[in-house]
Chains A and B, each alone.
Chain A
Amino acid sequence: MTHIVTSYASELETLSSSVTQMGGLVEAQLSDVMDAVARRDLALARKVIDLDARIDVYNHEIEADVMNLLALRQPVAIDLRETVCAMKIAHELERIGDLAKNIAKRALVISQQEPLRALNGVIRMGRISLMRVSDVLNAYAQRNVAQAKSVWGADDEIDELYNSLFAEILSAMMEDASAVNACTQLAFVAKNFERVGDHATNIAESVHFLLVGEYLDELRPKGDVTSLTTVPKPDDKAPDPEDKEQP
Chain B
Amino acid sequence: MTHVESIDVLEPAGDAAGKSAAARELPEQASAPAKFDCSGVNVHYGRNHAIKNVTLKIYDRSVTALIGPSGCGKTTFLRVLNRMNDTIEGARVTGRILIDGQNVYDKTVDPVQLRARVGMVFQKPNPFPKSIYDNVAYGPRIHGLAESASALDGIVEDALRRAGLWEEVKDRLAMPATSLSGGQQQRLVIARAIAIHPEVILMDEPCSALDPIATARIEELIDEISRQYCIIIVTHSMAQAARVSKQTAFFNMGELVEYGETTRVFTNPDDPRTQDYITGRFG
CB distance from B238 to the nearest CB of A (A): 7
**B280 near A77 (CB under 8 angstroms)?**
no
Please name the residue on chain A nearest to B265 by beta carbon: A77
Residues 207-239 of chain A, each 1 if its beta carbon lies under 8 Å from chain B, else 0: 000000110000000000000000000000000
Neighbouring B residues of A75 by C-beta, 8 Å = 279
**A76 near B279 (CB under 8 angstroms)?**
yes
- A60-94 contacts to B, CB under 8 A, are 74-81
CB distance from B24 to the nearest CB of A (A): 19
**B281 near A76 (CB under 8 angstroms)?**
no
Q: State A75–B266 Cα separation when bound (angstroms).
A: 9
A1 is contacted by which of B239, B242, B274, B282 (Cβ under 8 Å)? B282
B276 contacts the other chain (CB 8 A): yes
B267 contacts the other chain (CB 8 A): yes
Neighbouring B residues of A4 by C-beta, 8 Å = 280-282
- A113-161 contacts to B, CB under 8 A, are none
**B275 near A80 (CB under 8 angstroms)?**
no
Q: Give the number of chain A interface residues (Cβ < 8 Å).
A: 16
Main secondary structure of the interface of B (DSSP, over half): helix
**A81 near B267 (CB under 8 angstroms)?**
yes
Q: State A112–B209 Cα separation when bound (angstroms).
A: 74
**B282 near A77 (CB under 8 angstroms)?**
no
CB distance from B281 to the nearest CB of A (A): 4
Q: State A83–B239 Cα separation when bound (angstroms).
A: 17
**B239 near A3 (CB under 8 angstroms)?**
no
CB distance from A110 to the nearest CB of B (A): 47
**B275 near A78 (CB under 8 angstroms)?**
yes
A43 contacts the other chain (CB 8 A): no
CB distance from A141 to the nearest CB of B (A): 21
A5 contacts the other chain (CB 8 A): yes
B269 is contacted by which of A5, A74, A77 (Cβ under 8 Å)? A77
B268 contacts the other chain (CB 8 A): yes
Neighbouring A residues of B280 by C-beta, 8 Å = 3-5, 8
Please name the residue on chain B nearest to A82 by beta carbon: B279
Q: List 26 A-B contacts (CB under 8 A).
A: A1-B272, A1-B276, A1-B281, A1-B282, A1-B283, A2-B281, A2-B282, A3-B279, A3-B280, A3-B281, A4-B280, A5-B280, A8-B280, A76-B238, A76-B242, A76-B267, A76-B278, A77-B266, A77-B268, A77-B269, A77-B275, A77-B279, A79-B279, A80-B267, A81-B267, A213-B267
Q: Footprint of A on B, CB under 8 Å?
A: 238-239, 242, 266-269, 272, 274-276, 278-283
